[in-house]
Chains A and B, each alone.
Chain A
Amino acid sequence: MADKFLDTPRGALNALIYRGNTMKNRQLKFALALASPLAFLFAVGAPIPVIGFSLARSVIAAPLQAPVEQAPPESKKKKKIGAAKEEKAVEFTPANFAEIQKLANDRKLTPDDLLAAAKTYQPSGRHDEYIMFASGGHSGQMFVIGVPSMRLLRSIAVFTPEPWQGYGYGVGEDVLKEGDIPGQELRWGDTHHPALSETKGDYDGEFLFIGDKANARLAVIDLRDFETKQIVKNPITMSDHGAAFVTPNTDYVIEGGQYAVPFGNAYATAEEYQKAYRGMVTFWKFDRAKGRIDISQSFALELPPYWQDLFDAGKLASDGLIFGNCFNSELATGGIELNKPPFEAGTTQRDMDYLHIIDTKKAEAAFKAGKFEKVNGFPVIKIETLIADQILFFAPEPKSPHGVDVTPNGQYVVVAGKLDPHVTVYSTSKIKAAIADKKFSSKDSYGIPILDFDAVMEAQVELGLGPLHTQFDDKGYAYTSLFLDSAVARWTLGGEYSSLHPEPPWKLVTKTPVQYNIGHLCAAEGDTVSPDGKYLIAMNKWAIDRFFPTGPLLAQNFQLLDIMQGGAAMPVLYDSPIGVGEPHYCQMIKADKLHPWTIYPEIGWDPQKQAIDPLAPKAGQEKVVRNGKEVEVFMTAVRSHYFPENVEVNEGDNVTWHITSLERTMDATHGFCIGGYNINLSLEPGEAATFRFVANKAGVYPYYCTEFCSALHLEMAGYFRVKPAAK
């Protein structure tokens, strides 16, 4: 009888409920009693493993039983957005091969073309392995591009107003104004060299810096929301080029000058060039906790007016040193209109220019010791102090060079010849030894000691015509752009890198033609202490015939090169037109080092302060407050309405308008524009914005959402009425 009860869970249950009291075996009954809940679940067919799963999930989640609505949406999602699908071996059928063959024939694609496509194509929803931050030249912006797909992900407005991001059309003006100079609004910039923030010489993915060559400015971009947070104007000079470069822990952001001017907006004639014009390098102190440059802790070095060009910070073996170059040690002042040699000739007369070697620790010590003069209120360490405190040394470099790049281990500095077919490699240990042993060949006319060339030079490698910039990979190779040859050169490093590659050290390995006229180049994390290799971008200035001609103004051409294999193989994989600016330089970071917000952390977030704006209206706090001619609007936006939808003021009122996005969903961005008043905002989920204007035109001005947000997006609108003033 007992056996029968145990035959099925249902039987066991029945036994317990109806028959248990007839059973004699106590142990059996006790076991049944204990088993009954499980038996019940079996009986009703409940999925017991599910209980275990949801139990485990709940136990993990239980301590976080936070108030509703607060948890960031990402953390508890099951699927990770953009993650590759489950990996399975891919098998092609004969039909696939036939189709590929036919497509290749129809579209005239070679096997190499198909391989290139396979190396770069990203199926829908799959994210790129690397993210590249490219300057946008005189568009005044930055571009964020995925690698290897080369898809443009977004632009970042920096020095130039940009309406899609709502930058400079109601909000963002505060940042833009920081970069103005007295008497002049500056509303564009010439972005040249982006620098990702570094920790121990490696990208940390937190901040991005970019210089403006035209106006000697520097901007800070926060990579939590990819927005410009600060613009600093260099108080002493008017143009830069070596910006931005960071020291290995981003203590300082380096801004090296370009066209020398008399400091502090002073006036001086061309004849006074040697005496009155000055070059410079500025050390901007970065306060990482605040995410801002701390101007009060920043200082500059006065340099001879040699037209400093690029800079790079030493790292590891050369940590504490900064290297820069220059290309007008001739002190040419031009004058083609006076039948004097034009700059292009005047600046290229001498055989050698000067590699600048700067001791940052000693420079910082001099600044802290107060050994500076103030120009426009900004501390400048004079040349005499640089000499006396052994802060600045020169080393000869072949004339009019370009690019000064420190190898990942910090042991070498590569200076590209530009007008010389070589790159010149300096040993940082030899430089240190030469400084210690005072191996000077001479001094320049400002009294700055010049190190003996042979004492500091490690190697010269002949690469081709017009070498400009150098980057590095993980296999002991260096890559140099050749402008005139229109090619990328791969060459071998020596020293401790010799064991990483089969070729002899300091030798050209191969060249890949690129289309056309390459400027900078960028390998994956190729200027850090641990380059990744894999991909290299050739940033070509000219595209000529690569794309459909879009009138006489043509896009730049970013070319993706595969540098995964060593030796001679270095194929071009992909051409990517950049039709929105003239990028100069870019840096490429592993995507998983970036941790951007997908929505702002809380409703009412002020991206400018990266904190809650206490004035930001929340749901239920919408109102219009009038105080004489001052009108303050507190508005919220959520799909698919603004609250309020009618705002009325009097002509001449000063309007302060707060608006908060109540959204908490990824990508639920709203716009807000007022026609006729030059207002357009981008309100990302949770963002709060405040803008001010004078209602100086009577009439009725519709406002509406400029970012398609929902099925009732067109209905997301309202009326701004300006009542005419009594005549």
Chain B
Amino acid sequence: MTSVSFISNILGPRVSSNDLLGRRMHFVIPTIMLSLARLALIISVFLPYWHMTLEAPQYPNGLELTAYVNHLEGDVREIDGLNHYIGMRKLNDAASLERALGVWMVIAMVVLIEMAGLVHTKWALLLVIPALLFPVGFLVDLQFWLYSHGHNLDPAAPLSSSVKPFVPPALGVGTIGQFRTIASAEAGWYFACVSSLFVAAALFFHRRAFKPLFDKMQIAKAGG
């Protein structure tokens, strides 16, 4: 097998103008879906992914913490100040790699989706898997860091003896000390979900459009 045929095996068949005749949408829909997925993913970068409100009697307005793909916002300093009593590490120590790479990862996913549009074989699936799983991955990673922070408390901290390791819930309501935590996914995360769904939809239309062409190409090859 030559390298040319190896690449063409991955890229799959090109669509001839004959194929397009009268059924242009058939082949364009996957691309539209993937473009929408990219758009949604790009928008999500500018929006908060996750938000937590901490309520306590002496904070009548609550404390706010908002996570974007690349940074934290809100009462980070005050929350860190309070956490030092129980020996919790600083919030900005969590997921520092993820936040440093966050925007680049999103850009990479967008590029991969773009590339997937050009690949007319099942390999396209491989390219969009990151975008497909991204929302789930975000939550899993968040839960991991919440667990990590809640379980690596400094034993020498002032209140270390009175606080057992804990995991603040990544979504929903939790309690720690006099604080009630309310966590929710935010617009950015929902946009990532929308992106993921567009990718899934695109895969379906992709298969419907290109599988027959691919099969035809294989048969032609075998025949040749």
Contact = CB atoms under 8 A, between A and B. Distances in A.
Interface stretch (A54-62, A293-301, A589-597): A54-62
A69 B200 CA distance: 39
B208 A51 contact: no
Given A16-B204, A78-B61, A712 B85 contact: yes
Interface of A: 16-17, 20-21, 26, 30, 33, 36-37, 40-41, 46, 50-51, 54-55, 58-59, 61-62, 65-66, 68-69, 71, 73, 76-79, 81, 125, 638-640, 663-665, 711-712, 715
Interface in B39-76: 46-48, 51, 60-62, 64, 68, 71-73, 75-76
B114 interface: no
B187 A58 contact: yes
Given A51-B187, A58-B186, A639-B81, A17 B204 contact: yes
Given A68-B73, A664-B78, A712-B85, A77 B61 contact: yes
24 contacts: A17-B200, A21-B208, A30-B29, A33-B205, A40-B197, A41-B190, A51-B187, A54-B47, A54-B48, A55-B187, A58-B46, A58-B187, A58-B188, A62-B46, A62-B47, A66-B73, A73-B75, A76-B64, A77-B64, A81-B61, A125-B60, A665-B81, A712-B85, A712-B158
Contacts of B158: 640, 712, 715
A20 B204 contact: yes
B33 interface: yes
Contacts of B200: 17
Q: Which of A40, A58, A77 has the most CB of B within 10 A?
A: A58
Nearest to B51: A54
B47 A65 contact: no
A665 B78 contact: yes
Nearest 5 pairs of A and B residues by beta carbon: A55-B187, A37-B197, A77-B61, A58-B47, A37-B194
Contacts of A33: 29, 33, 201, 205
Contacts of B188: 58
Contacts of B214: none
Given A26-B25, A61-B73, A712-B158, 15 more contacts: A16-B204, A30-B25, A33-B33, A37-B194, A54-B186, A58-B47, A65-B46, A65-B68, A68-B72, A68-B92, A78-B62, A640-B158, A663-B81, A664-B77, A712-B85
A51 B75 CA distance: 22
Interface residues of B, number: 37
Contacts, number: 85
B134 interface: no
Nearest to B72: A68
A662 B77 CA distance: 9
B198 interface: yes
Contacts of B51: 54
Contact of B77 (A62, A69, A79, A125): A69
A54 B76 contact: no
A359 B123 CA distance: 90
A20 B209 CA distance: 13
Contacts of A36: 197, 201
Contacts of B85: 640, 711-712
A308 B76 CA distance: 58
Contacts of A46: 190
Contacts of B78: 664-665
Nearest to A63: B46
